[in-house]
């Protein structure tokens, strides 16, 4: 039974004034690093498209699912509309505040998760590191849905652990609602729900009869959660463009038929670059700290450590085998555009030339991977009709 007074009593006993001040400091650092000059750094082209979709969906009710015309789920479009209402004269700020909000939800989820598993001290330290992790710092300042995908990962992971330990119908319902909500962000969220099948690792025991009974109950609840999640996800069927989501996914991921024919088509390229990109995005040092922590966790709690390890390995294994495109050229492009505000006029020209060369090399090398024989055969795709008209009209 819900009792708000018990919750407040627990919080008073658990967190001292010093702890509250530390949490306020972490939140202040989060907003400082995410909001400072939020609308002043250069715009990434996709941001303009997504913001324009939100403006169209806001003004035209029949276009609430406009993002589906490009195979994109509608969460970002819908989530950006409230910010556009608050900042109608600064659409870029409104769009990027959507990303910041996703980051805040991720930070709260990360604190709750680490507190639930490892205690108060770990939650404080982990949240502090989260604020300064380059990947989160970069994507949570952009008008992209990636921060919400990260939030989905954290909260689904938390609810799955609680579900397998407590096996409560209320937790299964909340997991289903959260899963359905975040499925409206990106198709990749599905893999987080699928990883729920690993749950019995956390309750493994020598008494196989008891293990079987608890596992059956868990899988029944997990199945209920997945059904709820996909009922919410299928709200997109109200749009005639829903089928474009599956087509869009095939742009970036191999189908199972393609994988069975050529299972190693992208493997050797992805195995070379994926670990490096992960370390870059984590800032190397934080990645090393995480590795040390994972080893320590496996030694201290083998079941939880193995569960964590599989959640790390399996998604990236799938990425290495199935992902057909890795967009590293965006890194060069974004860094090159920063030169406009960070260097003197003389330095700008030099650094811009370097960035252009790096970008060109990254673009050509990325397409060479896909069996293109020479730079002359590089395809330059025209903007899709809807994207071109909406993007050019606004920006």
Q: What is the pLDDT along the chain (395 residues), one digit of tens a residue?
A: 778 889 889 999 999 999 999 999 999 999 999 999 999 988 888 999 999 999 999 999 999 999 999 999 999 999 999 999 999 999 999 999 999 999 999 999 999 999 999 999 999 999 999 999 888 999 999 999 999 999 999 999 999 999 999 999 999 999 999 999 999 999 889 999 999 999 999 999 999 999 999 999 999 999 999 999 999 999 999 999 999 998 888 888 888 888 888 888 888 888 888 888 888 877 778 888 888 989 999 999 999 999 999 999 998 888 888 887 665 433 333 333 333 334 444 444 554 444 444 444 433 333 333 333 333 333 333 434 444 444 434 44
In sequence order, the 6+-apart residues with CB closer than 8 A to the CB of 89 are none
The tens digit of pLDDT for each residue in 314-353 reads 988 888 888 876 654 333 333 333 333 344 444 445 544 4
How far, CA to CA in Å, does 364 sit from each of 185, 269, 328, 357, 377? 30, 14, 11, 10, 10
Task: Describe the crossing of helices 169-183 and 146-166 by its angle, rounded to 10 degrees.
Answer: 160
The tens digit of pLDDT for each residue in 129-172 reads 999 988 899 999 999 999 999 999 999 999 999 999 999 999 99
| Ranges assigned E (strand) in 290-373 | none
Q: Which residues pair with 210 in a beta bridge?
A: none
Instruction: Please return the burial class of 219, using the count of CB atoms within 10 Å of its CB with bins 0-12, 13-18 and 19+.
Output: middle
- Up-side HSE of residue 214: CA atoms within 13 Å toward CB? 18
How far, CA to CA in Å, does 239 sit from each of 12, 30, 176, 389? 48, 37, 22, 21
CA atoms of 115 and 124, how far apart (whole Å): 8
Tokens, residue 370: 């896909």
Helix (H, G, I), strand (E, B) or coil at 88: coil
CA atoms of 298 and 295, how far apart (whole Å): 5
Label residues 19-48 b or e (16+ Cβ within 10 Å = b): eeebeeebbeebeebbeeebbebebbeebb
């Amino acid at each position: 039974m819900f009792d708000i007074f018990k919750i407040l009593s627990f919080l008073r006993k658990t967190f001292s004034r010093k702890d509250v001040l530390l949490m306020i400091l972490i939140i202040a650092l989060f907003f400082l690093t995410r909001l400072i000059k939020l609308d002043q750094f250069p715009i990434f082209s996709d941001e303009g498209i997504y913001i324009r979709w939100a403006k169209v969906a806001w003004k035209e009710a029949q276009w609430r699912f406009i993002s589906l015309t490009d195979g994109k789920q509608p969460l970002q479009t819908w989530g950006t509309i409230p910010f556009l209402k608050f900042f109608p004269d600064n659409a870029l700020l409104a769009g990027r505040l959507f990303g910041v909000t996703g980051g805040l939800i991720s930070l709260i989820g990360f604190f709750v998760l680490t507190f639930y598993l490892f205690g108060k001290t770990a939650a404080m330290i982990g949240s502090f590191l989260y604020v300064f992790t380059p990947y989160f710092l970069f994507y949570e300042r952009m008008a992209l849905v990636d921060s919400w995908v990260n939030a989905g990962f954290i909260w689904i992971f938390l609810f799955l652990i609680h579900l397998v330990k407590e096996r409560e119908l209320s937790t299964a319902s909340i997991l289903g609602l959260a899963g359905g909500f975040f499925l409206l962000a990106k198709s990749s969220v599905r893999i987080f729900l699928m990883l729920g099948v690993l749950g019995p690792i956390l309750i493994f025991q020598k008494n196989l009869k008891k293990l079987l009974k608890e596992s059956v109950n868990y899988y029944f609840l997990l199945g209920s959660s997945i059904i709820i999640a996909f009922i919410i996800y299928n709200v997109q069927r109200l749009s005639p463009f829903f089928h474009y989501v599956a087509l869009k996914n095939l742009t970036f991921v191999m189908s199972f038929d393609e994988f069975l024919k050529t299972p190693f088509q992208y493997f050797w390229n992805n195995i070379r670059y994926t670990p490096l990109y992960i370390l870059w995005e984590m800032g190397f040092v934080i990645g090393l700290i995480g590795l040390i922590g994972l080893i320590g966790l496996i030694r201290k709690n083998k079941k939880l450590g193995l569960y964590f390890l599989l959640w790390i390995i399996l998604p990236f294994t799938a990425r290495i085998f199935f992902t057909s495109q890795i967009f590293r050229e965006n890194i060069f492009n974004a860094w090159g555009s920063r030169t406009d505000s960070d260097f003197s006029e003389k330095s700008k020209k030099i650094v811009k030339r370097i960035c252009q060369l790096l970008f060109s090399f990254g673009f050509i090398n990325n397409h060479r991977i896909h069996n293109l024989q020479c730079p002359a055969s590089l395809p330059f795709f025209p903007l899709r009709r809807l994207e071109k008209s909406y993007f050019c009209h606004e920006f």
